[in-house]
A and B are shown apart, each in its own frame.
Chain A
Amino acid sequence: MKISRRTMLKAMGAAIALPTLDIMTSNGLRASTATQPVNRLAYLYFPNGIPRGIWHPEKVGPHGELLKLNEWMSPLEPFKKDILIPRNVWTPQGNGHGAGTATWLTGNDYSRRKVSAGGISVDQLAAEHTGSETLLPSLELSMKGKGYFSNSLSRNAISWSRRGIPLIREVEPRSIFDRMFRPATGGATDRSVLDMVLQDAKSLRKQVGNADQQRLDEYFDSIRALEKRIEFAEKQTLRIKADQTLTDSLTAPEPGIPANHEEYMKLMMDMIVLAFWSDATRVATFMLDHGQSNRYFNFIPKVRGTWHALSHYGNASGMTEDDDGSTSWDSVETKRDMYAEVNRWHHRQLAYLLDRLKSISEPCGGTLLDNSMIVYGSSLGDGDDHDEKDLPTLIAGRGAGTIKTGRQLNFKKPTDLSNFHISFLNRLGVEIKEFGTGDKQIDELNG
């Protein structure tokens, strides 16, 4: 299957024009020329959990085959063969909007005072491994927060570096694009200028106390990443020049943040697709909102109240401290349905991402989705029970042939999310036996 330029453009959204190139035969902008399919990992975080049960499929086969999804999952129906829905996943260290978000990918406990999630997060561990082969070790994306807690560190941090630093999350599509494709300008990025500032950093490092040295190490890391980016961009410029078919150059999305929430989210997802496709990175995390989002989804017909308020559907009076004071509901059922509706809206966005990934063929066979592991989940189980049990966790993509999709995995015993992290890490070639609270692989992923 060849992909026409038009399909590609459609795939990337109207804002970005991609170069004309035959990605079946040419390796395109790919930095790597691997003959083996590469595997990618993306974690998509959503806050506030789900009403328990709306992820339970309507019909399953004798071996857990997904035959028909629940109505609330209907946007994912076309992808039921590409996904895996484990049930009874949990995080033994607890949950919640703050600590639960911060530790979703570390499997540890959160300390507010120390600003620590207990260790490196799974995506960063993966990035350490795959990062040497790609432009950026990883991408950290977030939808720009609104309302309460938009600046709360723990609710906005899921990726933690080995140094224990919560990574800054990109909220603007254009700046993500620039990080991948903006060529060096020759001003501050001139080699001699960079040598000078590195010299500054080295001399400082000698003068300051111990704890300050860590700050300077952060500086060194960021300059190193910059050098790599420049190198990658130069390589790409050469490739584009050498390839007669590349008549168009990459056109960046407009700066700023689209006002339309759906358009914005799709553009962010396009950036993930673009990054995976060009092999700019193989690891990405995307927060669809901050850990206690109280965004209004009034643009969905019949939905009223904030997301977080809706998640506490057990009290429909509109009088709890989670409520906005002006919205109340007829009944618990109405409120719960609106909560589920917000979830369904997000399932539709997830479907968009899966569709894009699936429409792109890979040089070594299969689609981009086949060669990815997309994890979509939350740090809360049921928003009203406010628990860490039965966490909504969905895996899409076959992990380069290592995951048997199209099934529900109905675990009898609570199964530690950390064990899933271990399984994904192993599939990326990170040999690790323990992570967070986990100590084994999930064998059931193989089928």
Chain B
Amino acid sequence: MVFRIFKCIIVLTIVLQGYQLKAVQTEDFAIEKNFSSFCFQCHGKKKTKGGLNLEKLLQQKPLIRNRVQWNQVVELLKSGEMPPEEEPQPGNEVRKSILATLDKALNHFDYESIDNPGFESAKRLTNHEYNNTIRDLFGVDLKPADRFPAEMTGASGFENSANTLFLQSTLMERYIAAAERIVELTLPKEPKTASHFLTRTMILIAKPGETTTEREAAEKTLKKIIKRAFRQPASDRETDQVLELYFKFRRRGNDFEASVKQIIQGLLISPKFLFRVEQGNPTAESFQVSDWELASRLSYFLWASMPDSELFELAEKGTLHEPSVLSQQTERMLKDPKAESLGRVFAAQWLGFRLIGTRIRLDPIDNPWCTDSLMTAMRDESAMFFNSLIREDRRIANLVDADYSFINEELAQEIYELEDVLGTRMRRVTMRNPGRGGILTHASLMAVTSNHKETSPIKRGNWILETLLGLPFPPPPPNAGVFKEEVAENDSLTFREKVELHSSDPSCRSCHSKIDPLGFSLENLDYFGRWRESYRVRINEKVKESPPKRRRRYEVKPVDANATLPDGTPFNGPAGLKTVIIEKHHADLVRQVVSKLLAYGLGRQLEYYDEPAIRRILTDLEKDDFHFQALLKRIVNSYPFQYKKNQITQSVK
């Protein structure tokens, strides 16, 4: 009976799917035909202007897969900017019908029809995670990975993204050298320092003696370190294997300690340590990860390190996945200083202030005042600020409109012009200038979004839209960034005026009318975030001599930080910008914070099938009044964070 009902449902589903498929196909056909007549010529197989190949994009179904690119297409179609004036134009009706089809596919897609928590392939520990894990395993912060090859980042923007974490012999060599060195340094034959003794109590937990046989002592010691290093309890087979190895080393004449130490060196190069591997599942269904795996997901998300004993205990009990336990653990973990990795790793990579020191660098000739300690303080300011938002459970909007920051004397002197901050310690300071406070005004980000010694309103505007608010633009046309000659050569114009003229060019306007005002309003902050009311404008003059020469001179002009949004809303300066972002873009900001944290938490770039989880978090978050800790709890309780689905892949040759 049950079987028959089942069968009916299956048949019905197939029929319904068939029906849907047919409807979709008809629409597809119409849209493909329209695109082919008006767009493929420049954006198809033959030419991919602006890097856009609509022919290829149309084949990737559902269209929602490439939501970002399609939204850009919609924008350009809506504004009438595409197809370009000189090309054949679709009539109004056709344009409308294309837009309607896209609207349906993009904005009314039935997300509930997807059940895919996504798949994370085994992830090698990032250099950050490796350092932290070693610190927590041995109780000493050795940072061995600082000399490993630098991590590269791909599309997700985070180093912990599985698709860029490869393992190669080059790196393996480093792991081996590190494993040997770590054990030598932390467990020397004759312990001398306090940290030597601490590591011994953590690792050498048993000794052969009167009440303990050698086998028992070795087993106890090795099982404990395996559990902590592999983040899973040792299986019987693993235990047998290491004990066998232990006695092999003993037969060679090594003592108890030396044998255990050599095994630990081996554990540190085992794939079970170097990778965060999760059990597979032979079915195509989604399944919940084990509590041990969840413990690792949680600790690498919130701490960028291994789980601690409390998480291990809950995993052992099997209660970690219960929502109340998980929320309580999240709260506990966020109080731990290890959670600072959210500011130092996550926020630094998302917002880009990790580039201070590499991209913005010490230049003793040009910026003698820009010292290593100042750059460290700049990075610390942003990291500490981000961490305070989480620790104090503030609202997401406070990221932009907070009235405090963390500074020390050097920052106060060089950047913020504050008198009463003394000493190297970073401390919390209330910012009285409404144009200060909030991530948008941080020295670090003002530097990262500037050119070498000059602000770039375009870079800043673009950073706000793309990085902070998650509203990317199509890439600029190939000749972008170059002023037309008559603009470039007109020396009576300020840079702002030139940008404005440049942006009035119709092919530039649609993006620049959004980018520029945001950047202009930050002109009060110079290329290192120092406040200014006026700036020097460089003027190149042609001198009538023979041969003709150019001479440079500088003129002081007042800063014009007035700006107008495309909808006509005027605003002024950093303070005005903050208000505009909170009033007009709060939803974008929240969505971006959610997406970025989720991508970092999952260790992969987000896909269209993550949209249901994002929407659910967003809806719930409104009830939580957009507080950070609530958000983190929502993420760890979310479907993709707790579940996974095996990817069906063809095996690689």
A residues bordering B, Cβ < 8 Å?
112-113, 115, 140, 146-148, 150-153, 156-157, 162-172, 175, 178-179, 185, 187-190, 192-194, 196-197, 199-201, 203-204, 207-219, 221-223, 225-226, 229, 255, 315, 317, 319-328, 330, 386
Contact = CB atoms under 8 A, between A and B. Distances in A.
Contacts of B366: 326
Nearest to A305: B452
Contacts of A163: 652
A209 B166 CA distance: 17
Contacts of B483: 319-320
25 contacts: A147-B358, A147-B361, A152-B152, A152-B153, A153-B152, A168-B171, A178-B177, A187-B183, A190-B262, A192-B245, A200-B271, A201-B270, A207-B277, A210-B648, A215-B167, A221-B168, A221-B169, A222-B171, A315-B488, A319-B488, A320-B482, A323-B452, A324-B453, A325-B452, A326-B366
Given A147-B358, A168-B170, A204 B271 contact: yes
Nearest to A203: B237
Interface residues of B, number: 84
Given A216-B122, A317-B540, 11 more contacts: A140-B170, A150-B359, A166-B152, A168-B149, A172-B147, A193-B263, A208-B278, A209-B119, A210-B651, A218-B166, A321-B481
B166 A166 contact: yes
B173 A197 contact: no
A197 B269 contact: yes
Please list the 9 inter-chain residue pairs (A to B) with the smallest Cβ-Cβ separation, ordered nearest first: A324-B452, A325-B454, A325-B451, A225-B169, A209-B280, A222-B172, A193-B266, A321-B481, A326-B453
Contact of A211 (B176, B179, B281, B649): B649
Interface in B491-533: 495, 498, 527
Contact of B646 (A156, A209, A225): A209
B317 interface: no
A157 B154 CA distance: 12
Contacts of A115: 154-155, 163-164
Contacts of A169: 149
A137 B464 CA distance: 46
Contacts of A326: 366, 452-454
Contact of A319 (B147, B248, B495, B651): B495
Contacts of B238: 200
Most buried by B among A208, A215, A255, A323: A215
B330 interface: no
B493 to A, nearest CB: 11
A401 B219 CA distance: 63
A171 B149 contact: yes
Nearest to B482: A320
A167 B167 CA distance: 9
B556 interface: no
Most buried by B among A179, A196, A207, A223: A196
Interface string B322-361: 0000000000000000000000000000000000001101
B241 A196 contact: yes
B458 interface: yes
A163 B651 CA distance: 11
A190 B281 CA distance: 34
A189 B242 CA distance: 16
A211 B119 contact: yes
Contact of B155 (A112, A204, A210, A223): A112
Contact of A210 (B147, B498, B647): B647
A199 B170 contact: no
Nearest to A321: B481
A358 B223 CA distance: 58
B275 interface: yes
B100 to A, nearest CB: 28
Interface in B247-268: 248-249, 262-263, 265-266, 268
Contacts of B452: 323-327
B121 A148 contact: no
Contacts of A204: 271-272, 275, 277
Interface in B133-153: 147, 149-153
A197 B149 contact: no
A157 B152 CA distance: 10
A212 B277 contact: yes
Contacts of B166: 165-166, 168, 218
Contact of A188 (B124, B179, B272): B179
B46 interface: no
A146 B361 contact: yes
Contacts of B281: 209
A213 B275 contact: no
A99 to B, nearest CB: 10
B61 interface: no
A207 B482 CA distance: 55
Most buried by A among B164, B170, B277, B483: B170
Contacts of B119: 209, 211
B248 A192 contact: yes
